Amino acid sequence: MEQRPERDIETIARWIVEGRHIVAFTGAGISTDSGIPDFRGPDGVWTRRDAGLSPPQWRVASNRIEPNRSHLALVELQQLGKIQFLITQNTDNLHRRSGIRPDLLAELHGNGQLVRCLGCDRQYARQEVGWDARQWGPGYRTQKPVAGQPACLACGGRLISSVVNFGDPLPQQEWAHADRHARACDLMLVLGSSLVVDPAASLVGRAVGSGARVVLVNRGETPYDVVATLRVWSGIGEVIPPAVERARRALEQRPNGS
């Protein structure tokens, strides 16, 4: 399979400049450069499990994980006013930490640093409500409440982890926003997702069905490879940061930033 990263970078940059409603869709692959293993890559968690192997080693201690160049490139698109929404399957909190505005973000599978109320659906940082996982556990929906654990500051309802486990419903407000933007976008950047977990992956199909250009960057095969407008087999960090930088320079050269 021929690799043409320079041509891909130039194409992505041009489409970013031309795009009027750009949406990013990210999976675990965007965080591998931060040291977090992905799930279905060649050395991913599920890949190794299915082969009877031990889980992959984290390359960085969990308390030293930081957003990487690809996370920051999406923040730059936000600063340029070129990204209208970001949809992620990740629970690692790195998009928020990188500087993505929460109102532009749908964390479809939750966030490991947040808890939410089953009563009023309000979300809190764990520190904000004094949730100590060593005492109360992770707080998953399927676990029985522990006497004395923190409650919602607004309504007193039960707090659970915002992480969506298998069998849990997706957060409805985030899903509605993600669905609307997927249908409205003219360019979707799909970065580091194997696109085998529905209903999240179906959003790419919605973008395709609405006529959007879809750039799919992932090292492993996905069910959407044949419908992507541009399929890039390079690492995300090899193409997205330089493409965003090239788009930024092009936008700055436009008269009055038009």
Dihedral sign from CA coordinates of 199, 20, 217, 44: negative
Q: State the DSSP code for 57.
A: P
**pLDDT reading at 15 higher than 60:** yes
* CB atoms closer than 10 angstroms to residue 155: 13
- DSSP secondary structure string, 168-209? SPPPHHHHHHHHHHHHH-SEEEEES----STTTTHHHHHHHH
Beta-bridge partners for 24? 86, 189
Helix (H, G, I), strand (E, B) or coil at 124: strand
**pLDDT reading at 3 higher than 80:** no
Residue type (1 letter), 8? D
Q: How far apart are CA 89 and CA 234, in angstroms?
A: 20
**Residue whose token pair is 């992507």:** 228
Q: Model confidence over 145-203: pLDDT tens digits? A: 888 999 999 999 999 999 998 888 899 999 999 999 999 999 999 999 999 999 999 99
Q: Model confidence over 32-88: pLDDT tens digits? A: 999 887 555 555 444 434 455 556 565 666 667 899 999 999 999 999 999 999 999
Prior bond of 255 cis (ω within 30°): no
Taking a C-beta distance cutoff of 8 angstroms, is the pair 187, 212 a contact?
A: yes
Q: What is the largest CA-CA distance in the chain?
A: 63
Q: What is the pLDDT of residue 64?
A: 78
Q: State the DSSP code for 158.
A: B
> Which sequence positions are flagged as catalytic?
109
Rounded to an integer, the average pLDDT of 230-238 is 95
Q: How far apart are CA 237 and CA 214, in angstroms?
A: 18
Taking a C-beta distance cutoff of 8 angstroms, is the pair 188, 77 a contact?
A: no
Beta-carbon contacts of 197 under 8 Å, excluding residues fewer than 6 positions away, are: 89
Q: What is the pLDDT of residue 53?
A: 52
Domains assigned to the chain = 5-111+168-257 (3.40.50.1220), 113-162 (no CATH)
State if pTM tops 0.75.
yes
